[in-house]
Amino acid sequence: MADLKSLSGDAYLALSHGYAAATAGLAYGAARGSEAARGYGAPGPGGDLPAAPAPHAVAVAVAVAESSGEQSGDEDDAFERRRRRRGRGRGPGGAADARRRPREQRSLRLSINARERRRMHDLNDALDGLRAVIPYAHSPSVRKLSKIATLLLAKNYILMQAQALDEMRRLVAYLNQGQGLAAPVAAAPLAPFGQAAVYPFSAGAPLPCPDKCTAFSGTPSALCKHCNEKP
DNA sequence: TAGGCCATCTGGTCCT
DNA sequence: AGGACCAGATGGCCTA
């Protein structure tokens, strides 16, 4: 996890241009090592939602179904037996202490537990919703994004979108400015897109795409497909 | 087998 | 008082 934490800051910011690469397991996978092979990345945006939950998810769903709701009376004991058999969630105090508690307190504890379970399920549902809208491989053969990976990828995606939007705004402003210089008279026809005299993408000697984009915005353009082409 | 990820329980704190 | 939120602890499942 330490490697992940080390990635969670500026390093992820630096990947904003390479979001597609991150989703393809290049950026993220490179830092995570074997995690890439486990399906945190892979084929790019698009694809389908997982058709079936992972086996682990099924097991968990069963466990949840067994333990959901508030138990009382004999159900409490059955619940405790199941819980001990699964060996899950014996925090400080543990089941032994719980058994010594008055029945009333135990009932209260169980209802608090159920509420906490519901809360965590809601949180997981929200995370599933987030996974559904961030572009990464959604297929049964690809393992679901972990919680931390989902959050980091979503953050990265937002940053990339914000950058693209900003770049688009600057492009529009630039085009408007160029139009004003080239056609001060209202009757003057608009120059065809990309042919304005001051438009760097076509003006003067042909520059290689990354250079043109860099001249315009300071960085290679995330909107320009040529900038994202592999050499 | 170790490490990563996860669900659950639990007690504490804060808010309404 | 009751609910929401949080963090620590625990143990199961899975993969390399």
Contact (CB, 8 A) for A130 and A150: yes
Indicate yes or no: strand C within 7 A of the C-beta of A125: no
pLDDT tens-digit readout, A85-127? 333 333 333 433 444 456 777 888 888 888 888 888 888 888 8
Closest CA to A158 of A180, A137, A125, A133: A133
DSSP state of A122: H
- A198 vs A227, higher pLDDT: A227
Indicate yes or no: strand B within 7 A of the C-beta of A53: no
pLDDT given at position A175: 93
Percentages of chain A per state (helix, strand, coil), in multiples of 5: 60, 0, 40
pTM (predicted TM-score): 0.50
Residue nearest to nucleotide C15 (CA to C1'): A38
Helix axes A55-67, A74-86, angle to 10 degrees: 160
**A206 CA – B3 C1', rounded, Å:** 53
Least confident of A27-36, A108-117, A150-159: A27-36
Q: Which ranges of A53-195 would DSSP assign to H, the alpha helix?
A: 55-67, 74-86, 94-100, 103-133, 147-182
**A185 CA – B7 C1', rounded, Å:** 69
**Strand C nucleotides below 7 A of a protein CB?**
3-16
Least confident of A22-26, A174-178, A188-192, A198-202: A198-202
Q: Is residue A31 predicted with pLDDT exceeding 70?
A: no
Q: Is residue A39 predicted with pLDDT exceeding 60?
A: no
Residue nearest to nucleotide C16 (CA to C1'): A34
Residue nearest to nucleotide B4 (CA to C1'): A1
Indicate yes or no: strand B within 7 A of the C-beta of A88: yes
Closest CA to A110 of A89, A86, A127, A134: A89
Indicate yes or no: strand C within 7 A of the C-beta of A147: no
Q: Is residue A51 predicted with pLDDT exceeding 70?
A: no
Mean pLDDT of the residues in chain A: 54
What is the band of A170 on the pLDDT scale with cuts at 50, 70, 90?
very high
Provide the token pair at A72. 């009382």
**Strand B nucleotides below 7 A of a protein CB?**
4-11
Of A residues 165-184, those with CB within 7 angstroms of nucleic strand C are: none
- Which percentage of chain A shows pLDDT scores above 70? 33
pLDDT given at position A224: 44
Highest mean pLDDT among A37-41, A153-157, A195-199: A153-157
For A152-163, what is the mean pLDDT?
A: 92
pLDDT given at position A101: 52
pLDDT given at position A138: 74
Indicate yes or no: strand B within 7 A of the C-beta of A95: yes
CA dihedral A199, A201, A202, A204 (to 10 degrees): 80
